[in-house]
Amino acid sequence: MASVSVSPTGVAAQYSLTTSTSLPFPTATQSSQDASTFITSQWSLFNGRLSWGGDNLAFVSDPFPNNPVAGSSTTSPNPVLQINYPAGSYSGGTGGAQWYTQWNASDGTTFNSMLLSYELAFDSDFNWVKGGKLPGLRGGPNTSSCSGGSQPTGNDCFSTRLMWRTGGAGEVYAYLLQPNNLCSQGNIICNSDFGISIDRGTFYFATGQWMRITMFVQMNDPPDVANGNLVLYFDDVQTISEQGLQFRSGTAVNVGGLYFSCQTLLLGSDDSWATPQSVNTYYRNFQLYGSSLPSNLTGQQVSSNVAPPLRLSPTTAVLAVLIAFALHLTWYGT
């Protein structure tokens, strides 16, 4: 059976997402400094600033005008956003860029459902190495957690980004709660130190070619029922559909907007993740669609709301061992 192709607007209509917005792009190319100023002033950034990576971004001419998204002949004369990964970079602040674009609707809508769509491309000689992160969605009152090993509590935040892995294997990389034996599912890879890998390898990124990502996230409702919804379309074909998720345990967590997070690393990684040569990723056509409606799917009552254990620094771990040993001596004597 042929795969069914659905455009972002078609997905938005399917879930009754009646509010929408798009991110503006300049009409001429811009250097890093001008591009940083443009994004800071035009893209509704949290705290009005980039988290890091201003020196690694620019607006450039389309590097692949003859390789549009599969099934599309549409090209645009406007510049595209380039993110640079210098040779040897593998950690936040040394390559890539990151910021949080909060979508504050003019009518005051609080979003419990949101769809993000954008197009991206990798340099023709892009080296996948071990992996890296790509833009997705995030939400909740805590805008700094749910990333970098900082796990969600259920009342603070969630995040759902994309990742590429070795060979260009794609996945959704999420920080969310882990109830009802979520980690026992065959398509879920849990990591006590970092995020959850969902459906790794169900699609593959290509080099030298524009591709379209469409990600839909819908909050679980009520908060103690795991009926959250995550759907991903790759080049307009559904590749991931994961229900039974718990993004939150309290109503303070909603969907906030675009989490632009582009980096070739996992926190605590080493230079085995480093790109051997300077390479770029490219982005255009960012669109957001939203609704106040949460999920109405059937879901299980939360039976075990597990967040991965806190990760200890080496110093803290040594102190913990020494304290435990001292208590052992106190209890049993010398």
Contact between residue 307 and residue 177 where contact means Cβ atoms under 8 Å apart: yes
pLDDT value for 105: 82
Nearest to 256 by CA among 50, 45, 102: 102
> Hey, is 261 helix, strand or coil?
strand
User: Which residue carries 């052992």 as its tokens?
Assistant: 328
Q: What is the pLDDT of residues 242-275, one digit of tens each?
A: 999 999 999 999 999 999 999 875 444 566 666 7
pLDDT value for 2: 59
pLDDT value for 87: 86
* CA 119/CA 72 separation, integer angstroms: 12
Average pLDDT (96-112) is 91
- Return the DSSP state at 100: E
pLDDT value for 88: 76
pLDDT value for 75: 74
Q: What is the pLDDT of residues 176-187, one digit of tens each?
A: 999 999 999 999
What is the token pair recorded at 111? 């979003």
Q: Which helix (DSSP H) or strand (DSSP E) does residue 40 occupy?
A: helix 32-42
Going by pLDDT thresholds of 50, 70 and 90, the confidence category of residue 333 is: very low
Residue 331 pLDDT greater than 50, yes or no: no
> Hey, is 56 helix, strand or coil?
helix
CA 62 to chain centre: 24
Residue 159 pLDDT greater than 90, yes or no: yes
Could you give the dihedral angle defined by the CA atoms of residues 79, 81, 87 and 93, in that order, rounded to the nearest 10 degrees?
A: 150
User: Which residue carries 């632009």 as its tokens?
Assistant: 260
Q: Phi first, then psi: what are they for 189, rounded to 5°?
A: -115, 115
β partners of residue 145: none
pLDDT value for 91: 60
Contact between residue 295 and residue 221 where contact means Cβ atoms under 8 Å apart: yes
Average pLDDT (294-322) is 63
The residue among 288 and 331 whose pLDDT is bigger is 288
The residue among 162 and 328 whose pLDDT is bigger is 162
Bond prior to 222 in cis (omega within 30° of 0): yes
* CA 105/CA 323 separation, integer angstroms: 52
Percent of the chain clearing pLDDT 70 (strictly above)? 86
β partners of residue 282: 82, 121
What's the CATH number for 8-332? Answer: 2.60.120.200
* CA 186/CA 170 separation, integer angstroms: 16
Report angle CA 135, 140, 145 to the nearest 5 degrees. Answer: 70
Instruction: Please state the pTM of the whole predicted model.
Output: 0.88
Nearest to 172 by CA among 130, 216, 211: 216
What is the token pair recorded at 130? 């071990």
Average pLDDT (167-172) is 97
pLDDT value for 164: 95
Mean pLDDT across the chain: 88
Going by pLDDT thresholds of 50, 70 and 90, the confidence category of residue 107 is: confident
Q: What is the pLDDT of residues 199-242, one digit of tens each?
A: 999 999 999 999 999 999 999 999 999 999 999 999 999 999 99
CA 197 to chain centre: 11
Residue 310 pLDDT greater than 50, yes or no: no
Q: What is the pLDDT of residues 6-33, one digit of tens each?
A: 999 999 999 999 999 999 999 999 999 9
Q: What is the pLDDT of residues 56-97, one digit of tens each?
A: 999 999 999 999 999 887 777 899 999 999 887 766 567 899
